[in-house]
Homo-oligomer: A and B are copies of this chain.
Amino acid sequence: MNPKINFTPGPSQLYFTVKDHIRTAFREGVPSLSHRSKKFETYYQDTVEGLRELLQLPSGYHIYFTGSATEIWERLIQNLVAENSFHLVNGSFSKRFYEIAVQLGKKPIKNEVDNGHGFDASLSIPADIELIAVTHNETSTGVSLPLDFIYDLKVKNPNALLAVDAVSSLPYPDFDYTKLDSVFFSVQKGFGLPSGLGVWMANDKCLAKAENLLSKGISIGSYHTLPGLQSFAIKNQTPETPNVLSIYVLSKVIKDMIRRGISNIRKETEYKAALLYHTLQTHQVLKPFVVDPSFQSKTVIVANCGDQTERITKALLEKDMQPGDGYGPSKKTQLRFANFPTHSKEQFELLVDSLN
């Protein structure tokens, strides 16, 4: 009925243990569990401690839950910006982050490059910028920014906070979180959960900034301010009734990933990416959309397919594989392939065999 292997970049294929975890959740009464119960606090704590271990988060980092990563864009601007943020825009999602700052009445500045491209290392950022907003992995175009490039933004602009949208890259990137201030993702991509939960990691500097804005009489929102989230997080709770089931399943998937080993997940991600890029580079019809290898995403791989797009989609569907459409205007000429921890080496081998 629906293809067995789902390569759409999000919502994507479920992590292969999710169905079992949801079955167990029903058995244990999780879907009707009170978010003020001890049991919920345990699941909350498991998720937070698991993420700390999986991603090697340093102390001084806090983890909060929201309804979506889109919500985190809004909360980041509300909580960390009085006047101006600086946005590196190279696709639809980094652009939307910028637009949210405009909608919230701030004065954001953007450095915009064409889709499919990264940024010049000489990029200059005004001295009074409060927040630098970077999209590590542009889901719309398959451009990933090198980690050193991102760290360098902080070195050159030590007074600004640095927020990294890692929606479609985590848990793959091996970030040095001491060089970043906030990183966030949503669960329906690399973690392979059903959609409906955003995960927001922020350090003490972010909390201090939000408190500073608040002390100046600037509204930083209501139930999802950083100080508000933190006041509940210390009790392993959320301000509102959250997506309890999703927090539970996330705690379990993180445990599964820790057991599997993050370095194995990273190595396999690189193997699968190399396999597909090699196929695209040597293919007669398909070509990688992102030409510069230093900007080629490992987790969302975009192929130019031209007028063969529909034919290739059909052929893959016949083999029970669902490719992702190109994003927006590229819908009819590109295909996107998610390369997430749930996608096995065998599935990628089958994909490249079918494409060849």
A196/B196 contact (C-beta < 8 A), A11-B31, A70-B241, A100-B223 known: yes
Decide if B219 touches A74 in the complex (CB within 8 Å). no
Decide if B19 touches A33 in the complex (CB within 8 Å). no
Copies of this chain held together in the complex: 2
Q: Is the CB of A221 closer than 8 A to any CB of chain B?
A: yes
For window 205-248 of chain A, which residues contact chain B by CB distance below 8 Å? 219, 221-223, 225, 239-246
Decide if A32 touches B19 in the complex (CB within 8 Å). no
Decide if A28 touches B11 in the complex (CB within 8 Å). no
Of A2-10, A148-156, A262-270, A295-303, the one contacting chain B is A2-10
Residue from A29, A100, A194 with most neighbouring chain B CB atoms (10 Å) = A194
Interface residues on chain A, number (Cβ under 8 Å):
57
Residue from A10, A22, A195 with most neighbouring chain B CB atoms (10 Å) = A195
A31/B14 contact (C-beta < 8 A), A195-B243, A240-B68, A241-B186 known: yes
Whole-angstrom distance between the Cβ of A211 and the nearest chain B Cβ:
14
Decide if A196 touches B242 in the complex (CB within 8 Å). yes
Q: Is the CB of A58 closer than 8 A to any CB of chain B?
A: no
Chain B residues with CB below 8 A from A316, complex form: none
Q: In the complex, what residue of chain B is closest to A37 when comparing beta carbons?
A: B8
Decide if A34 touches B22 in the complex (CB within 8 Å). no
Assuming A22-B22, A103-B222, what are 5 further A-B pairs, CB within 8 angstroms?
Answer: A18-B31, A74-B222, A77-B222, A100-B222, A196-B245
Listed in ascending order, the chain A residues whose CB lies under 8 Å from chain B are: 1-3, 6, 8, 10-14, 18-19, 22, 26-35, 66-71, 73-74, 77, 99-100, 103-105, 186, 188, 193-197, 219, 221-223, 225, 239-246
